[in-house]
Structure 1
Amino acid sequence: MKSTAQFSSWLSAFLPDSLHTRPREWSRAALGAAIGFLFSTWVCSQLFGLHMAVHFSGPLAASAVLLFAVSSGALAQPWSILGSYLCACVVALTITHFIDHSLVGAALALGLSLLLMCPLRCLHPPAGAIAFCMVFATPAPGEPFWQPALAVMTAGVGLLACALLYNNLTRVPYPRPHPATSTVHRTRDPLPSERAGINADDLDHALDELGSFVDVTREDLELIVRSTEKHALRRSMGDIRAGQMMSRDLIHATPHTRVAEGLYLLTHHQLKALPILDEHRQLVGIVSLVDLVGAMRANSFNLRAILGLQKQQVLGELMTSPVQTVDVDAHVVDLIALLSDDGLHCLPVLDSGALVGVITQTDLVAALHRDLLRHLD
């Protein structure tokens, strides 16, 4: 019975996992791969002949699938394709010079290319096929022996240029941008969400322990893990919404409110930010203590300017606009990153576009405390 269950489990490993991409993305990637492959092989055929373009068309097609269908993967980044193609060309030319154009030489070129790509961090599977094809590529009579390598690199650059243009025009960032490492407070402290739980070092250690190739960047893996944590937290925290947490008795000002009056409202009510509403009571901006201090600091050597600032300048000249807001039905989990990692001290809450409340960091802490007590009961 146990052996039957193990055999069934082994067979199930052959079944593919469900895709988490949408059909629209399939169509986008398919069109891009076709365009990129056609352009790169056309350029190669125009410069080096149709025979040379067809000879390398298989690896180029495989690269096109990676660059357009899984452009966020570690194997599809610009250095991966250019570096791997270069490794394959150098190794194959060396093999054909010292050995011969044979299957043994092709297999050796494949293995050595893979061995070279790993420390250079440019692993790209189609480059293995490039190395194989390079061994059997024969330049035309009178042409230099390195002409096939030039053809490969030209086609690779053409394919990469198409990927850069097409992916970004279709709103798929390529190459995969590295996340900003600095915090909003410009200190060496990690983000609040990284001070407890999983952080970047934990992911690095996990990847080191795995020890095998993973076709995902560390940034993407971190994004997946944090998104998973977010959904799990949303499930465990029930249905706490912004409308249940917000302060409803709003202290606000208008764009024409004097700076001195705005400063009084902030200090008297012990606020860190002040919503700015127009004559139709629509939210048009927000002013914080930081904004006022920054304006005064700009005139720190001019006492007359400071006095004039408080008496004449209005909040409409200092306010931040547009304002980061949340909907009244926003889940508490969606507010955590905004009020911690993004460095915001308060979030205006809108209902059908109208300002109905404000959520502060204090409100968030109180809501999390109530949820913790609920789990302890």
Structure 2
Amino acid sequence: MPASQPPQRLTLLGARQLNSRPREWLRATCGAAIGLFVSVWVCQLMFGAAVATLLIGPVGASAILLFSVPSGALAQPWSICGGYLVSAVVATLVAQLGGHSLEMAALAVALSLIAMFALRCLHPPGGAVALCVVLAGPALQALGEKAVLPVMLNALSLLAIALLYNNLTGVRYPKRPQPQVDLHHTSDSMPEMRVGFTDADLDAALDDFGGFVDLTREDLTQLVRKVEDAARRRSLGGIQVADIMSRDLRCAAPETRVREALDLLHAHRLRVLPVLDAERQLVGIVSLTDLANFVGRSGSFRLLRRGGGDKSPLSDVMTSPVIAVSPQLPISELTPMLSSQGLHCLPVVDEEKLVGMVTQTDLIAALQRSMVLGA
């Protein structure tokens, strides 16, 4: 049984499988311990041990969030800073107006929760902050309205450690959406984003779900897309690049002249030519776009027709190194490469030898046939 899979008796109590590995457990544990120690130590230096001890509970809860679930919406910088600030201010006002009683503490937690919802900075340890401020001991009560200062010092210290530790240990924090590369500089969405669910569908599903989801909207979109990709790979898993690639290829050598390459492309109505060395290994690729750009730098196309390109070898024009794929690659992996990366075809290499080419047309034909046979 996997380490993260809870036993059946615990499942009955609401335990769920954790999608993390023991290595991540160790990383988060060390980070939480370091963050808690440094934050309390800094607070102790500035405000004394008594104040630091009174506020240690919320810091421990926040440390677990910031280091074990750093991608969660509740663990983002605005959540901890806004949550701590709102809770401390509300609790301070409640305590000054109503005193340091249990009733006032419950009221402070309720008002803090409403404020955090309104300001979109929900952070559960903020409730503990409100409790600590209202039910504080003499050391914290003596600070009066300045009780906000040690609270925010804890928040900022812990956040600084989280920013440093998480990023140094390979976890990007804070969570930011992946930048999308717009190769065509248009307002159209990426090709793989045009089919399937839309933002409106996601919003409707979240509204229908009703409860709070501790994922940012971007993370939830990415998660659903990955599920879709996994389902697509499973349905097309039996089809490999070797099944759809072209094998009878027209190739050129690095010393082939530009004019010869143009004639070869025109004669066979091709858009690209792989460039092979003497050992038949792929060393580059040249396309009509490469040749057009070369002609634009060297002069007019008219000059090229008159022989201006006879002395220019493809080694001066070709793109190198080349992105290539394996014959055993499932065709489901080709979709992002031939759509969002601006590639029209991909060389297929086996044991460093060129064995074929796969194009957008090959992929479309394979997907269409798979849909027809699967219908």
TM range (shorter): 0.7 to 0.9
Shift in CA distance, 172/12, structure 1 to aligned 2, threshold 3 Å = closer
Give the whole-Å Cα distance in 1 for the aligned partners of 2:104 and 2:70.
32
Q: Establish whether residue 246 from structure 1 lines up as the match of residue 245 from structure 2.
A: yes
- Given that residues 253 and 277 in structure 1 are in contact (C-alpha distance below 8 angstroms), is that contact kept between their aligned partners in structure 2? yes
Kindly provide the amino acid, as one letter, of the partner of residue 246 in structure 1: M
Shift of 1:369: 2.0
Shift in CA distance, 310/90, structure 1 to aligned 2, threshold 3 Å = farther
Residue in structure 1 matched with residue 188 of structure 2 by the alignment: 189
Shift of 1:262: 3.7
Kindly provide the amino acid, as one letter, of the partner of residue 21 in structure 1: S
Shift in CA distance, 299/97, structure 1 to aligned 2, threshold 3 Å = farther
Which range moved further: 127-136 or 313-322?
313-322
Give the whole-Å Cα distance in 1 for the aligned partners of 2:138 and 2:297.
68
Give the whole-Å Cα distance in 1 for the aligned partners of 2:180 and 2:368.
30
Q: How does 1:88-103 map to 2 (within 5 A)?
A: 88-103=87-102
Q: Secondary structure at the match of 1:287?
A: strand
Kindly provide the amino acid, as one letter, of the partner of residue 242 in structure 1: V
Q: How does 1:169-208 map to 2 (within 5 A)?
A: 169-181=168-180, 183-208=182-207
- Given that residues 92 and 147 in structure 2 are in contact (C-alpha distance below 8 angstroms), is that contact kept between their aligned partners in structure 1? no
Shift of 1:240: 0.2
Shift in CA distance, 195/128, structure 1 to aligned 2, threshold 3 Å = same
Shift of 1:131: 1.8
Shift of 1:283: 3.2
Q: Which runs of 5+ in 2 are unaligned?
A: 1-9
Q: How does 1:231-270 map to 2 (within 5 A)?
A: 231-270=230-269
Shift in CA distance, 68/211, structure 1 to aligned 2, threshold 3 Å = same
Kindly provide the amino acid, as one letter, of the partner of residue 338 in structure 1: M
- Given that residues 242 and 327 in structure 2 are in contact (C-alpha distance below 8 angstroms), is that contact kept between their aligned partners in structure 1? yes
- Given that residues 325 and 348 in structure 1 are in contact (C-alpha distance below 8 angstroms), is that contact kept between their aligned partners in structure 2? yes
- Given that residues 141 and 147 in structure 2 are in contact (C-alpha distance below 8 angstroms), is that contact kept between their aligned partners in structure 1? no
Residue in structure 2 matched with residue 83 of structure 1 by the alignment: 82
Q: Establish whether residue 365 from structure 1 lines up as the match of residue 364 from structure 2.
A: yes
Q: Which runs of 5+ in 1 are unaligned?
A: 1-10
Deviations 1:98-138 (A, max 9, x none): 22122222212211111111232211111111122122335
Shift in CA distance, 260/132, structure 1 to aligned 2, threshold 3 Å = farther
Supply the RMSD in Å over aligned alpha carbons. Answer: 3.0
Q: How does 1:296-315 map to 2 (within 5 A)?
A: 296-297=295-296, 310=309, 313-315=312-314
Which range moved further: 143-152 or 187-196?
143-152
Shift in CA distance, 154/363, structure 1 to aligned 2, threshold 3 Å = same
Give the whole-Å Cα distance in 1 for the aligned partners of 2:253 and 2:272.
13
Shift in CA distance, 308/265, structure 1 to aligned 2, threshold 3 Å = closer
Shift of 1:232: 1.8
Shift in CA distance, 82/307, structure 1 to aligned 2, threshold 3 Å = farther
Which range moved further: 318-327 or 52-61?
318-327
Shift of 1:141: 9.2
Kindly provide the amino acid, as one letter, of the partner of residue 57 in structure 1: I
Give the whole-Å Cα distance in 2 for the aligned partners of 1:120 and 1:25.
31
- Given that residues 273 and 345 in structure 1 are in contact (C-alpha distance below 8 angstroms), is that contact kept between their aligned partners in structure 2? no
Shift in CA distance, 65/277, structure 1 to aligned 2, threshold 3 Å = farther
Q: How does 1:338-377 map to 2 (within 5 A)?
A: 338-376=337-375
Q: How does 1:1-377 map to 2 (within 5 A)?
A: 14-137=13-136, 140=139, 144-181=143-180, 183-297=182-296, 310=309, 313-376=312-375
Shift of 1:216: 1.0
Which range moved further: 132-141 or 367-376?
132-141
Deviations 1:272-294 (A, max 9, x none): 33333444443344333333434
Give the whole-Å Cα distance in 2 for the aligned partners of 1:143 and 1:294.
74
Shift of 1:233: 2.1
Aligned residues: 366
Shift in CA distance, 304/234, structure 1 to aligned 2, threshold 3 Å = closer
Q: Secondary structure at the match of 1:87?
A: helix
Deviations 1:297-325 (A, max 9, x none): 56779998999984555444444444333
Shift in CA distance, 61/270, structure 1 to aligned 2, threshold 3 Å = farther
Give the whole-Å Cα distance in 2 for the aligned partners of 1:158 and 1:114.
23
Give the whole-Å Cα distance in 2 for the aligned partners of 1:142 and 1:18.
43
Give the whole-Å Cα distance in 1 for the aligned partners of 2:60 and 2:226.
33
Shift of 1:208: 2.7
Q: Secondary structure at the match of 2:119?
A: coil
